[in-house]
Chain A
Amino acid sequence: MRHIISILMENEAGALSRVVGLFSQRNFNIETLNVAPTDDPTLSRLTVTTTGDERVIEQITKQLNKLIDVVKLVDLTEGQHIERELMLVKVKAVGAQRAEVKRTTEIFRGQIIDVTPSIYTVQLAGHASKLDAFIQALGGSTLLEVARTGVSGVARGEKVLSL
């Protein structure tokens, strides 16, 4: 099953490589990963999506917790949560496709954020499955480049991941 694990860790050199290294060392899966400092510049928040049965996920969270740089973590998929991913897509926009891409972007509530006579760059945010659907919907067009941030998320309601 797919899990989203969010980690608060020390914003220090080497911390990221310890987390990533742990996944490869112990044969765990990383599907997406993103990381950036939080409002507290001494802390980074790293979010990873991974797959595995209950036992594997238990090992992943336990092993992550063991890392000295990891301060706190939560498996967001254990409860109600909101997840989002941002995608930038560069797509060929000439002839009939020019209007078609624009229409599809509007249907998916994306924005065209850069334009040339032959190219649109579309920005789309949402659940990872929505981004997948958008790419499918553009099936008839020529995709030139896709850049996705990987999943980020928070728990719904009052639950927070903070110190």
Chain B
Amino acid sequence: MELLSGADMITRFLADEGVEYIYGYPGGAALHIYDAIHRQDKVNHILVRHEQAATHMADGYARATGKPGVVLVTSGPGATNAVTGIATAFMDSIPMVVLCGQVASHLIGEDAFQETDIIGVTRPIVKHSFSIEDPSEIPMILRKAFYIATTGRPGPVVVDIPKDMTAPTEKYEYVFPKKVKMRSYTPVGRGHTGQIKKAVDLILKAKRPILYGGGGLVLGGASELFTQLAKKLNFPVTTSLMGIGAYPQTDRQSVGWLGMHGSFEANQAMHHSDLVVCIGARFDDRATNNVSKFCPTARIVHVDIDPSSIGKTIRVDVPIVGTATSVLEEMLALLDESKTQLKADALVDWWKQIDAWSASRAGRIYEPAEPGETMKPQQVVEAVWKATQGKAYVVTDVGQHQMFAAQYYKFDKPNHWITSGGLGTMGFGFPAAMGIKLNKPDEEVVLITGEGSFQMMMQELSTCSQFGIPVKIINLNNQSLGMVRQWQDLNYQARHAQSYMQSLPDFKMLVESYGHVAMKVEKAEDLDAAIEKTFAMKDKLVFLDVYVDPHEHVYPMQVPQGSMNDMLLSKTERT
């Protein structure tokens, strides 16, 4: 039997759980835990410069590896600073455990120094939360927290830890709980076979089908099975923004991702399809446009691990609740056994139509800058794609640069496209990229950002100096909040209310002052060389400040309240 203090139980548990890094920031209510961290060497603590960054670092790590990210913050402002990161993880179903210090139990409710009811504050943005009421509960509650965060539809779990629960003088028996069972929580398993059969019947009869994969394929490790299914059926494949990489985008069957700024051919194919087989996406408003005009001629098969995602926004013909892997396995098996088989030429007309849509837009809808002109943001992303052979982990912030990155970097593997899709959190990208690079030092990790988003988390340049985290940063600097400006151009007669970023710093000087490398590129002819130099410096954080055309818009863009294929294609064309 081993006797440990509450604080030592926490660090010991994390080590036993296999946690290598935690991200956090100390403060009064968490100091016993920080002392315990100092006295061991299995769990490494990364000191950020703002708690929000800790949550995004943990989040980025979780998105790239599938393992839960772990955060440690103190009570009050420490915990409230983490809120945006918790909400970000919640909206994208990212497994995360957030340990929050809290004032001592006898002070709770008295408006004590740095007291916040963080359980209350975070209630709508967590999968679950726990409050420690007795130190002996720590191992089991932490075990449950990890179990809940990582199983079923993943999500963040907050654990509130009053300071007296971690007092060094009081010791309790520590055993790592091998099993965890909760009568009120059973993660979803296999889908209903009868429903899967119905889906397969529709698949075999479809004339204009489309496979639609979501972030659930990435989270559930189902990309390979999804690809197998697509190959077997020869169906066109689209994904949601979160599903990018679940199917190789350079493959012939990929029509790109769909939605507000999705590809012309994906949105056209969805609109004209007679069968949508959706796996692991939730039909959110940025994907469907006006739900009453969504895919008017299609039957819809919806596979999801979360029953509440099914039928939430759109009517579904065949709902299937189950894990993506189990349902895909069963679909593949049923297709193998089925007496009726797909005819080889069944989809010839459909593919002809899709190929015509693809050809009409030629995949690229911008004019690259000539030498001497201001660069287009799209061409910078294309250059990054080429320089990294499409193999990098690409992390973004939120705005025009995010859409350009999604459109012009082609992802062939899951878990490599890292973006805040649901919450749309500016400031997410830099720390998320750091979390990935720290855990995957041999992989190329690129942050594609804009000067607006980057300034929301740029204090983390300091963390990168301290821990040597050599991410590559491509700053698409258009000296304005590009997406806001685009909406103002389109909907507010170009009145640019507060979307112009005045008083920008000299990013080169700023980044260099932290001991990193920075370069500024203003002319198109200098781009390739600068990018090459950037990626050649393996061990350095390199910040490439690329001046791009502030007047550029992201297209295609779905017309608000329209159908999937109501799109603006440029400043002057519309479908």
- A residues sitting closer than 8 Å to B (CB atoms) are 9-10, 13-14, 17-18, 21, 25, 55, 58-59, 62-63, 65-66, 68-71, 163
- B124-A25 in contact (CB<8A): yes
Considering the chains assembled together, what is the distance between the CA atoms of A163 and B124 in angstroms?
27
- A70-B184 in contact (CB<8A): yes
- B307-A62 in contact (CB<8A): yes
Residues of A within 8 A of B119 (CB): 14
Considering the chains assembled together, what is the distance between the CA atoms of A65 and B187 in angstroms?
12
Closest chain A residue to B309 by CB distance?
A62
Considering the chains assembled together, what is the distance between the CA atoms of A82 and B131 in angstroms?
37
Partner pick for B123 among A17, A59, A163, CB 8 A cutoff: A17
- A58-B183 in contact (CB<8A): no
Residues of B within 8 A of A10 (CB): 184
Residue B38 at the A interface, CB < 8 A? no
Residues of A within 8 A of B183 (CB): 71, 163
Residues of B within 8 A of A62 (CB): 307-308
> Shortest Cβ distance from B333 into chain A, in angstroms?
28
Knowing A14-B119, A14-B129, A14-B131 are in contact, say whether A66-B184 is a contact too (CB < 8 A). Answer: no
Residue B28 at the A interface, CB < 8 A? no
Q: List 12 A-B contacts (CB under 8 A).
A: A14-B123, A18-B123, A55-B311, A58-B311, A59-B311, A62-B307, A68-B127, A68-B128, A68-B148, A68-B184, A68-B185, A163-B183
Residues of A within 8 A of B185 (CB): 68
Q: How large is the interface on B (under 10, 10 to 19, 20 to 34, 35 or more residues)?
A: 10 to 19
Closest chain A residue to B184 by CB distance?
A71
Considering the chains assembled together, what is the distance between the CA atoms of A21 and B121 in angstroms?
11
Considering the chains assembled together, what is the distance between the CA atoms of A163 and B184 in angstroms?
10
> Shortest Cβ distance from A123 into chain B, in angstroms?
35
Residue B306 at the A interface, CB < 8 A? yes
Considering the chains assembled together, what is the distance between the CA atoms of A63 and B124 in angstroms?
12
- A59-B308 in contact (CB<8A): yes
Best-surrounded residue of B119, B133, B308 (most CB of chain A within 10 A):
B308
Considering the chains assembled together, what is the distance between the CA atoms of A25 and B125 in angstroms?
10
> Shortest Cβ distance from A149 into chain B, in angstroms?
26
> Lowest 5 CB-CB distances: which A-B pairs, in order?
A62-B308, A68-B128, A71-B184, A25-B124, A62-B307
Residues of B within 8 A of A25 (CB): 124
Considering the chains assembled together, what is the distance between the CA atoms of A63 and B308 in angstroms?
6
- B184-A13 in contact (CB<8A): no
Q: A63-B308, A66-B307 are in contact. List 15 more A-B contacts (CB 8 A).
A: A9-B184, A14-B123, A14-B129, A17-B123, A21-B124, A59-B308, A62-B307, A62-B308, A66-B308, A68-B127, A68-B184, A68-B185, A70-B184, A71-B183, A71-B184
